[in-house]
Structure 1
Amino acid sequence: MLVGDREIFAEAAQDWPGTPTLTVAGPLTLAACIDLPRAGRAIGDHGARRDIAQSWAVGVGDFLRDTVRLIARAFAVQIDEPCLAMVLDGGVPDESGRSLLPPVDRQEARRVLAGAVEAARAGGDQVVVHCCAVDPHLDVLGGAGADALSLDVRDRGSGFWDELARWCSGNPERRLWLGLVGADETEQGASVIARRLALARARLDVAGGSTRPADWAITPACGLARAPGTGQWRILRDLTRVAADA
């Protein structure tokens, strides 16, 4: 976010009764997308991963503290880790494009995410970690200490719901941000989103997870940059309608 963008954000948030959310790319996804000077993705180099994680924590922490001072209110911080599954499964290609880099150790990944969550608390309200992968590796993502998980919950199997229910049950303060509609689903409408929300609640009930209304938020399944034309506004309008009736 540039300085001008931050000033616009502050002006828009001034009289808004909701909780503003600022989204940042997570350190593992960042490392998976950055090339080293000698070639190759940074995620494949232990020292580079460490340096990126440390720099991320300092830079994001400072940025969030400055933003809090500017807008004079707390906000939620969403840490996006769309590449987490690739990082943990060894799915990031090397510089040749013909081979894959080895997976990052799960304990290391959990430590990196935990450090990112702690740095993001400079935002002052709540910290959310997001992954839209089919298998978001909840043992790692959920072990980072965030206040909420933001997940794509469309068409997920019973194992996913069982694991998510265990995460919910581990702490009564934990929240869920449920991704219910994709950027390419601009014509689905509020009724489809409402049915998906009801199904998610039912699956978590069966699995024994928390379904208190205060614990829920409904969101797009991932970013909306690929939504065509006015599709972004259509999706947000439909989500707002469903949330108002939930």
Structure 2
Amino acid sequence: MTDQPWPWPTGAATGIGSLPGTDIAEAQRMVLGELPALPHLPELPARGPGADLIGRTAGLLVELPVELYAARWRIAPRPGRDLRRARDLMERDLDQLAEQAEEYAGVIKIQAGGPFTLAASVELPIGGRMVRDPGAVRDLTGSLAEGLRRHVAEVTRRLPRASVLLQLDEPSLPAVLAGRVPTESGFGTYRAVEPGVAGSLLRTVIEAAGVPTVVHCCAPDVPLEVIRSAGAVGVALDVSLVTDLDPLGEAIDAGLGLLAGAAPTRPPAQGRTPTSAEVADRVRQLWDRLGFPRRRLAEQVVVTPACGLATATGRYARAVLTACRDAGRRLAEE
């Protein structure tokens, strides 16, 4: 690593994670071709249970087996076919990555659900989400921490010349902190998790993974201080949802990297793909509003789509990744 304080090359672009379709070989070829500076391990939720964010991450848990019950993931008494399927899909994806990126020597990004999104989604055997039980959340965090440590080691073994950047997907984190996760009946919500507790448990996962980690949250109220206090090197967010500039400005000023979601995940009404100039403008405008010098932009910021691209067409997804890549290059040339 050079003196560069952020673990990605200047002018980089990457994807958030999910892509359309069911062909992992084709998805990985697209990512490696369109995002050469910072490729990511694609996720293809269209393949079904176990390829979704929750099932894929639950497959990484250690000594905490899961199963599908009434289309929801829950803790199981023993490993079964649902868990086997999730693990088989991941194994296939990593084998395919090793085949296609064998000589890759840059940074590769991998994604997994964070502990609080998992706790807000996975159910206890007796019913109710894990987030209702602080002890269960701690057990889940420990299991995920060990699972991600092993997962990072597996990626490193397959791509020995590459370095790993981990992304924790935490779309439910704001709801967990605000006590907005609904109970099964829909008439109540689970008790809020204290920010200090959330930061500490996130830190447990990040430290166990042992690689630079960014936290992705595509909600309007991203808890930047919790993410920064947990030891993340960056935050991934949708720039169109940023309304309060001060917290983001403070986090960036303190050294937090920004994965700026600046390309829409679906085409606008007229169906036109965003150009790289438009994507670069969105990033530049936010940076200028925050009041930071342009010379830092391309180093501290990575250009990304606003969120995952699972619901896009294959053609639109490729066009968005291309626009993000070229936008990153534009910003680096200024």
The percent identity for this pair of structures is 32
After superposition, what is the alpha-carbon deviation per residue over 1:66-112, rounded to whole angstroms, capped at 9, x for unaligned? 22122103221111111111111111111212221121111111111
Matches within 5 A, 1:1-246: 2-16=90-104, 18-72=106-160, 73-121=162-210, 124=211, 126-157=212-243, 159=244, 161-171=245-255, 174-185=256-267, 187-205=273-291, 211-246=296-331
CA distance in 2, matches of 1:209, 1:234: 26
CA distance in 2, matches of 1:34, 1:19: 31
RMSD, aligned CA: 2.0
Residues 154, 180 of structure 1: 8 Å contact kept: yes
CA distance in 1, matches of 2:294, 2:178: 27
CA distance in 2, matches of 1:195, 1:226: 25
Local SS of the residue matching 2:120: helix
Residues 169, 209 of structure 1: 8 Å contact kept: no
Residues 104, 159 of structure 2: 8 Å contact kept: no
CA distance in 1, matches of 2:183, 2:159: 42
Residues 116, 170 of structure 2: 8 Å contact kept: yes
TM-score (norm 2): 0.67
CA distance in 1, matches of 2:117, 2:295: 29
CA distance in 2, matches of 1:14, 1:162: 43
Local SS of the residue matching 2:216: strand
After superposition, what is the alpha-carbon deviation per residue over 1:126-173, rounded to whole angstroms, capped at 9, x for unaligned? 21111111010112122211111111111522x3x21122112224xx
Residues 13, 20 of structure 1: 8 Å contact kept: no
CA distance in 2, matches of 1:182, 1:47: 39
Residues 22, 76 of structure 1: 8 Å contact kept: yes
Q: More helix per residue: 1 or 2?
A: 1
CA distance in 1, matches of 2:235, 2:118: 19
Local SS of the residue matching 2:112: strand
Residues 168, 209 of structure 1: 8 Å contact kept: no
Q: CA deviation at 1:232?
A: 1.3
Q: 1:118 to 1:185 in 2, by over 3 A?
A: farther
Q: Which has the higher contact order (CA 8 A, sep 6+)?
A: 2
Structure 2 unmatched ranges of 5 or more = 1-88
Q: 1:155 to 1:62 in 2, by over 3 A?
A: closer
Paired residues in the alignment total 238
After superposition, what is the alpha-carbon deviation per residue over 1:33-92, rounded to whole angstroms, capped at 9, x for unaligned? 101111111111111111100100011111211221221032211111111111111111
CA distance in 2, matches of 1:89, 1:111: 17
Structure 1 unmatched ranges of 5 or more = none
